[in-house]
Amino acid sequence: MSVRPYIVEYMFDSLVAVDPMADQSVLIERIAELETIKSAAAAGQARAAAALDAARRAGEAASGMPSERRGRGVASEIALARRDSPARGGRHLGFAKALVHEMPHTLHALESGALSEWRATLIVRESACLEVEDRRTLDVELCRDPAGLDGMGDARVAAAAKAIAYRLDPHAVVDRAAKAENERTVTIRPAPDTMTYVTALLPLTQGVSVYAALRREADTRSDGRSRGQVMADTLVERVTGRAAAVPTPIAVNLVMSDDTLLGGDSAPADISGYGPIPAAVARSMVARSVADRRSRATLRRLYTHPRTGALVSMESRARLFPRGLATFIELRDQRCRTPYCDAPIRHRDHAQPWAEGGTTTDENGLGLCERCNYTKEAPGWRVSTSVDKNHTHTAEFTTPTGRRYQSGAPPRGPAITISNLEVRVGIALARHAA
Ligand SMILES: [Zn+2]
């Protein structure tokens, strides 16, 4: 699929052309010009997004759709067109509507290159808690004279917008802070070297007191561990209720090729819900677990050839995916199958709906996040699936305007899955602490 329509090819080429032999001052000039083009393009995308949303809602209103259901899925269409995640698509659309309908000066500053897309986003974000009238005032004060934005970095732009918002409506800012407390949560993501980040988003006072308590603990210990190590160990001990030195059994689902398991291959293994881990680490996890008689790990072949393996051809009359098939889909898809959406899988759903004759099979099954599963049900959306002769599972998403996007399941050779592998994760402690 060509990225650019043929008609604009020539125009586009001259727009972004760079002569590497040009004079240095010309090259710098070119970098500045291209930056302005990026901002102008972002403004154009905002206008197009707001217009698409308005046209879709008008059409749906004319066909008698209740107002709360109108515009469903538009953010996901914008995300696909921008090669971005649906969550970002939602932000892009909110940003576009705010700029086009309420903040003309900020939009103009973006269009002229005085603001980057990110800085314009910061201004929209800081004004989000305001009533429309106040938002318009902020727009005028901050962006009517684009020269005033000259030399302002991200932090200064955000601070200037925040200061105006606070002056215009202090209560709105305080209310927003109270609402933000509802967003408190704990998340996990992989870190390099088979470490992991556990992040807590907390109200300010709680966050500060958690950190202070860990530091206090570190101040009272002098056992050869660094401050950071004591703080990390204390966090684990207090949250899990076990001493950090005592290995904590956790059940993980591990997928790897049999060659990797037997040591003949260095292809990485995959912990479901975490991501790839080095072959050697996976092997030692399995070895330790197998040596431990308390372990209840189950081993199962996965991705076997359709002629020989039952799992791939498993079919059910049930509306809900049976557990084995659901696990299979989850291990196959790894993350939400919508292109560019990296969200974890929450639903194992039918591509072609069950009500329309879709079968409960791995071929018609799709791992999706909550948001994408909901979007798929919006009017005009269609998802079809296929499996080619190399057993690659492909899902094709068709949006209301008829654009098509494909997503293949991540490639994987013959593999085995080890479910419920009990891995004893111990934190290396100075032994004399015990
Ligand atoms: Zn998704």
The per-residue pLDDT string of the chain (434 residues; one tens digit each, 9 = 90 and over) reads 455 667 677 777 888 889 999 999 999 999 999 999 999 999 999 999 999 999 999 999 999 999 999 999 999 999 999 999 999 999 999 999 999 999 999 999 999 999 999 999 999 999 998 999 999 999 999 999 999 999 999 999 999 999 999 899 888 877 877 788 888 999 887 787 778 889 999 988 889 899 999 999 888 888 889 999 999 999 988 988 777 665 555 666 777 766 677 777 777 777 776 677 788 877 777 766 655 555 555 555 444 333 333 334 334 455 566 666 777 788 778 889 999 998 888 888 888 888 888 888 888 999 999 999 999 989 999 999 998 877 778 999 999 999 999 998 876 555 666 655 555 433 222 222 22
For ligand 1, the distance from its centroid to the CA atom of residue 338, given in whole angstroms, is 5
For ligand 1, the distance from its centroid to the CA atom of residue 335, given in whole angstroms, is 8
Res 313: pLDDT: 35
Report which secondary-structure segment, H or E, holds 196: strand 195-201
Q: Do residues 351 and 289 make contact, with C-beta atoms less than 8 angstroms apart?
A: no
Res 174: pLDDT: 78
Tokens of 377: 């049900």
Q: pTM for the whole thing?
A: 0.71
Q: Do residues 296 and 420 make contact, with C-beta atoms less than 8 angstroms apart?
A: yes
Query: Helices 132-143 and 86-102: crossing angle, nearest 10°?
Result: 80
Residue 72 to residue 89: CA distance in whole angstroms: 12
For ligand 1, the distance from its centroid to the CA atom of residue 379, given in whole angstroms, is 17
**What amino acid is encoded at 46 in this protein?**
A
Counting beta carbons within 10 angstroms of the beta carbon of residue 9, is it exposed (0 to 12), middle (13 to 18) or buried (19 or more)?
Answer: exposed
Res 228: pLDDT: 93
Res 342: pLDDT: 83
For ligand 1, the distance from its centroid to the CA atom of residue 347, given in whole angstroms, is 10
For ligand 1, the distance from its centroid to the CA atom of residue 354, given in whole angstroms, is 20
Residue 100 to residue 93: CA distance in whole angstroms: 10
For ligand 1, the distance from its centroid to the CA atom of residue 158, given in whole angstroms, is 30
For ligand 1, the distance from its centroid to the CA atom of residue 348, given in whole angstroms, is 12
For ligand 1, the distance from its centroid to the CA atom of residue 18, given in whole angstroms, is 37
Res 367: pLDDT: 92
Query: Helices 104-111 and 132-143: crossing angle, nearest 10°?
Result: 40
Res 126: pLDDT: 92
For ligand 1, the distance from its centroid to the CA atom of residue 375, given in whole angstroms, is 9
For ligand 1, the distance from its centroid to the CA atom of residue 97, given in whole angstroms, is 23
Closest-CA residue to 333 (of 299, 383, 380, 400) = 383
For ligand 1, the distance from its centroid to the CA atom of residue 353, given in whole angstroms, is 17
